[in-house]
Copies of this chain bind each other. A is one copy, B any other.
């Protein structure tokens, strides 16, 4: 059955009201209880770009939610609520759209962020889910940006990268716990790896005005990257550097805080893959043994590039 806004709104209004919401579902705006410093992010998930027509709709919703929550993780924020801007062509099936919404809400709820509001729009072109995530920072928690790194900082990565497109891009866990741990450990800059490790390291380096020496031998290469390498002949390392959609966190930790991570057994969980230094040409450097070359800027995923 093709969808209609009316039918979808009625269905949405019958869903149980999340506890954080002060008003019934279906109002123009979600009015939320209490709160401290707010963290807000918006992330789109579009058919043909972030998922395929054949992807199970519940996994589409899950991914849309997880992408937004990953942005909260990169600030060490605690998720509170999700809103969905759903855009679909008239011929989209209502069951499919509902299953996307259920998948999104379920995943949000598992992480403390139920779906509290949003908007629907009928327009041609591929189905798109624009998710807004609201999070909060702990009282007194410093805001984190990509620009806070300093020379000498260690570059940490929370997990293996590469080959995510095989399936992991749909089922990854946003690194919320890890993000909060890293903030407590004193990281100075953090982001999630969505567009490829190399490109995202380069961004982190440039925004902090530093050179980042990435030790190629230390990059945790995901088994998915090795599988991808077998099928397409590119190296597993190339996949690890460029594939993107890993949603691991990349953080710059002051060298002096290393002991704190070690004492918590956290350095075993995370990989130290490089370090920051002053340079007149900020950006990413790929290092093997003693040689370091500035990254050529190829690879990675840039929308509209």
Which residues from chain A sit less than 8 Å from chain B, CB to CB? 2-6, 8, 13, 22-24, 26-44, 46, 48-49, 70-72, 74-75, 77, 81, 83-85, 87-88, 90, 116-126, 128, 130, 132-135, 137, 143-147, 191-192, 207, 302-305
Contacts and interface: CB of A to CB of B under 8 A. Distances in A.
B6 A28 contact: no
Given A38-B134, A121-B128, 7 more contacts: A4-B304, A32-B37, A34-B37, A42-B84, A44-B85, A122-B303, A125-B126
Nearest to A189: B27
Contacts of A121: 44, 46, 49, 128, 303
A32 B37 CA distance: 6
Contacts of A117: 40-42
Contacts of A143: 22-23, 31
B124 A83 contact: no
Given A5-B303, A5-B304, A120-B304, A32 B40 contact: yes
Contact of A87 (B40, B44, B120, B124): B44
Given A40-B81, A46-B123, A144-B23, A135 B29 contact: yes
Contacts of A126: 123-125
Contacts of A44: 85, 87, 119, 121, 123, 130
Residue among A29, A75, A84, A117 with max Cβ neighbours from chain B (10 Å)? A29
Contact of A119 (B6, B43, B192): B43
B125 A123 contact: yes
Given A6-B302, A35-B38, A119-B44, A29 B72 contact: yes
A20 to B, nearest CB: 10
Nearest to A41: B29
A134 to B, nearest CB: 6
Nearest to A70: B28
Given A71-B29, A75-B28, A147-B24, A40 B132 contact: yes
Contacts of A146: 24, 26-27
Given A6-B302, A27-B191, A48-B123, A116 B40 contact: yes
